[in-house]
Amino acid sequence: MRHCSVKKSDNQFVAIIFMFFMACLYMPASPAIADTAKKLILAVHPYLPENEIIDRFTPLANYLGKEVGKSIQVRVGLDYQDHNEHIGRDLVDIAFMGPASYVKMIGQYGGKPILARLEINGAPVFHGNIVIREDSAIQTLDELSGKSFAFGDPNSTMSYLVPLYMLNKSGISLQQLKLHQFLGSHNNVALGVLAGDYDAGAVKNEVFLKYKTKGLKSLKSTPELSEHLFITKSNMPPGLVTALQQAMYKLTSLPQGKEILGAIKKHTTGLVPANNSDYDNLREILTQSQPKHP
């Protein structure tokens, strides 16, 4: 019987090839590749029912995923604190935040790369209103002393934090109001004032415009503030940050852009660049008001 034989040099060649293959297989990826090698998480604060938020942000998540070559999943926070903690501790990759939540979060956890902010009807800023009934005799903020006031959510920029600052600037503390209550949403505030349950309340401008024809009147507008924004975790590779930014900025020029933007919020016309300094006036407002939640 003849036996097959393999030369020693052949064995050495095979061994070298095998070792080279295994080294390539387990070689650490570059930071950018390593980051995109997993599913990315886009976190959103729970300002609407979970299903509605997922419906609104999934088109954007799908679009961005295709742009950066990886799946992106929408996560809805259990509450505002849970949402802020997850992005603050870099437990999620991308986050959509309200202005006040953003300012508070970076104050606690440090800065994060900003991807973009919303542009609504061509403007990246927004404002709210302290409202009364159209037939109310109240004409100035200082006349609210001894009156009842409706707020939305204690974490809301326009239905609590900024209006509280405005009241304080007019010399009115919460203790000087006849009563104040948190109704949970801007719509509830508008309806409460219209029903006569409260002398005044605070709502974002779009809600004021919605109920203006039903008898709601603006007593005073809030200062203009920089819009809601998208940020990333602090250790996101710079190349991936740039790719996400560019994908967001070019949405307005794409055929599907209007639909994706409109799903996030009605009348959204773009996602535009932003800097941390764009939120300095809000930072000052929050510092001065120092709200105390009941």
Tokens of 116: 């973009």
Confidence (pLDDT) at 10: 53
For residue 11, the model assigns a pLDDT of 53
The share of the chain scoring above pLDDT 90, in percent, equals 76
* Whole-structure pTM value: 0.74
User: How do residues 94-130 score in pLDDT, each as one tens digit?
Assistant: 999 989 889 999 999 999 999 999 999 999 999 999 9
Where do the domains of the chain lie, and which CATH numbers do they carry? 36-124+226-277 (3.40.190.10), 128-222 (3.40.190.10)
Give CA–CA dist 58/63, Å, rounded. 8
pLDDT score recorded for residue 48: 82
Average pLDDT over residues 67-74: 96
Tens digit of each residue's pLDDT (9 = 90 or more) over 27-56: 443 344 344 457 999 999 988 889 999 999
Lowest-pLDDT range of 54-58, 127-131, 157-161, 227-231: 157-161
Average of per-residue pLDDT across 142-149: 97
Given a cut of 90, whether residue 140 has pLDDT beyond it is: yes
- Write the pLDDT tens digit of every residue in 121-132: 999 999 999 999
3-state secondary structure at position 147: coil
Question: What is the per-residue pLDDT for 290?
Answer: 63
Q: How far is CA 113 from CA 110, 137, 231, 237, in A?
A: 10, 47, 6, 10
Cβ-in-10-Å burial (0-12, 13-18, 19+) of 168 comes to middle
Q: Over pLDDT 70: what percentage of the chain?
A: 86
Q: How confident is the model at residue 25 (pLDDT cuts 50, 70, 90)?
A: very low
Using DSSP, state whether 265 is helix, strand or coil: coil
